[in-house]
Amino acid sequence: MHGSEHPLREDRGPVRYGPPAPDPGLPVLPELAAVLAAAAARPRPEPPGGGTILREAARAYWERRSLRGGPEDIVAAPGAQPLVFALIAAYGGDVIMPRPCPAGWMPQARLLGRPAYHVPTPAECGGIPDPYALLETVRRVRAEGGRPRLLLISVADDPTATLAPPELVREACEAAVSEGLHIVSDETWRDTLHRPHDTVVLSPAEMCPDDVTVVTDLAGALTPSAWPVAVARFPATARAAARRARVLDILTALGAVVAEPVARAAAHALREPEAVTDRIRLAAGLQSEVASAAHRAVLTAGALARPPQAGRHLYADLGPLRTRLAARGVTDSLELEEYLSERLGAPAPGGHRFGDELGALRVRLSTGPLLGSTPEQQMESLTAVEPLKLPHVARALSIFAAALDELR
């Protein structure tokens, strides 16, 4: 049994592993809505891989993050899922990924018929495999006749909402490159750091520029999830250019092109005008406060979770509450997902969606529903000096804490 396989639930059929529904996030920034509306009458999609305006905006975005290159090194797609799918297909071979990992990775490898192997992450963070475990896994897979070729990682991680320390990123990347793996670094959440002045993001592409392709889904921080667009930055090498051409062929065959109005709005967001950077800063500050409160509620109930550092969710381990959960008929992460989704009134995807074992009682808890149920409440949360004192936020946090506290 390789790392992407799980047992079936005989009593309920196959376990559901597909990606959970995306968090809709905060209301659309009016400036972005205006850009999209101005381009709404354009009837044609962007060419496969994105047009010049979008790719140039992505190039400048990455250059501001010390990743230099040209627009010819960039490919755009309608969301991260088709982009990662095309990358896995283009690079061939077996896939290595951390456990847990973003929910879209396993289904894409499985759809392509690629063996996928999970490597445990270290205690301090998710998203990056333990370097020694990575080396052991690669050598074991090769000894068994496998062909590991690709490592997928996320420095600012979904689902754990943690940030990998630079020294760990360096060690893991050096281990991967030494074994001939190409690295795909998902950096979707790097602009959502809760305390950006206290943390350092180090992209693997800064350390191993010829061996890393960077992927960013703009829905992480820049655009609404309903406007799907993601971009990939390839190394500036002849070998990478051939892989990029293969990715373009796959996206073309899939018809995976970005709508031009969405591309114009995405390009505007990638240029990071003041309105966009202000929204990112306010949203990160709000998520920091709400996620910290949710984290305290998880720990108070006796469960475990790493402190969230980025994004709009946290990853909780309810294993210490197993006995109380079993009394309620909850014995695995699928049942935990159903139980907590009903209790919280919001999706709570179980750890099986993120590559964790079905028997582990882990769940990703979104902080988005804690911000309010209407655009007006969400905007009030965004601009409040003390958002936790707002009635709708306090009430949502109370319901959240009560659902966990009853398991003590």
CA dihedral angle for residue 142, residue 144, residue 150, residue 154, rounded to 10 degrees: -110
Inter-helix orientation angle 52-63/260-270, to 10°: 20
For the segment 271-279, the average pLDDT, to the nearest whole number, is 97
**Pairwise CA distance, residues 235 & 247, whole Å:** 14
Say yes or no to pLDDT of 145 above 50.
Answer: yes
pLDDT of residue 331: 97
Query: In this structure, what are the phi and psi dihedrals at residue 66, rounded to the nearest 5 degrees?
Result: 70, 20
pLDDT band per the 50, 70, 90 thresholds, residue 22: low
pLDDT of residue 384: 97
- Across 133-208, the runs of DSSP E, i.e. the strands, are 148-153, 182-186
Say yes or no to pLDDT of 340 above 80.
Answer: yes
Say yes or no to pLDDT of 81 above 50.
Answer: yes
pLDDT band per the 50, 70, 90 thresholds, residue 1: very low
Helix (H, G, I), strand (E, B) or coil at 148: strand
For the segment 4-23, the average pLDDT, to the nearest whole number, is 46
Say yes or no to pLDDT of 11 above 60.
Answer: no
Q: Give DSSP secondary structure letters for 267-331.
A: HHHHT--HHHHHHHHHHHHHHHHHHHHHHHHHHHTT-EEPPP-BSSEEEEE-GGGHHHHHTTT--
Per the prediction, the chain carries an average pLDDT of 93
Please write the tens of the pLDDT for every residue from 195-243: 998 888 999 999 999 999 999 999 999 999 899 999 999 999 999 999 9
Locate 135 and state its tokens: 């080396």
Q: Report whether the peptide linkage leading into residue 165 is cis, meaning its omega lies within 30 degrees of zero.
A: no
pLDDT of residue 197: 86
Query: In this structure, what are the phi and psi dihedrals at residue 290, rounded to the nearest 5 degrees?
Result: -70, -40
- Across 1-115, the runs of DSSP E, i.e. the strands, are 74-77, 94-99
Say yes or no to pLDDT of 390 above 70.
Answer: yes
Q: Burial code of 20-57, b = ≥16 C-beta within 10 A, e = fewer?
A: bebbebbbbbeebeebbeebeeeeebbebbbbebbbbb
Say yes or no to pLDDT of 19 above 90.
Answer: no
β-bridge partners, 174: none
Please write the tens of the pLDDT for every residue from 147-196: 999 999 999 999 999 999 999 999 999 999 999 999 999 999 999 999 99
Say yes or no to pLDDT of 24 above 80.
Answer: no
pLDDT band per the 50, 70, 90 thresholds, residue 7: very low
Closest CA to 266 of 84, 87, 46: 46
**Pairwise CA distance, residues 135 & 167, whole Å:** 17
For the segment 236-259, the average pLDDT, to the nearest whole number, is 97
Contact (CB, 8 A) for 116 and 3: yes
Say yes or no to pLDDT of 14 above 90.
Answer: no
pLDDT band per the 50, 70, 90 thresholds, residue 364: very high
Contact (CB, 8 A) for 367 and 291: yes
β-bridge partners, 96: 117, 151
pTM of the model: 0.92
